[in-house]
Amino acid sequence: MACIDVDALTQYENDARQGRGDALYHLGLAYSTGQGVTVDFIAAHKWFNLAALRGVDEAKRWRAQIAREMNGSQIAEAQRLAREWLSIFH
């Protein structure tokens, strides 16, 4: 996997606001692997969840994989954050 730099993260965030599934997926990858950001499974789960809603099948697999590393309250927080994001950018 290529290293994700700050400029790429900014572009992914901008594209994510436009509802682009690939950008949502790449944000999930960044947060799940620590590419350009600190590893944050709650944020990663949120982004993968949003990407999965946009039809990115690989995001479903990544979301399931990191969910195994999370507890129930962390997953609930990730889901809450995804709903919050949708209410703003949907």
> For residue 37, which phi and psi values (nearest 5 degrees)?
-145, 170
Count of other CB atoms within 10 angstroms of residue 59: 24
Q: Per residue in 3-39, pLDDT tens?
A: 677 788 899 999 999 999 999 999 999 999 999 899 9
Cα–Cα distances in angstroms (integers) from residue 5 to residues 27, 39, 40, 72, in the given order: 12, 14, 16, 31
Q: How many whole angstroms separate alpha carbon 24 and alpha carbon 52?
A: 9
- What is the predicted pLDDT for the residue at 89? 86
- What is the predicted pLDDT for the residue at 2? 53
Q: Per residue in 31-77, pLDDT tens?
A: 999 998 999 999 999 999 999 999 999 999 999 999 999 999 999 99
The more confidently predicted of residues 89 and 83 is 83
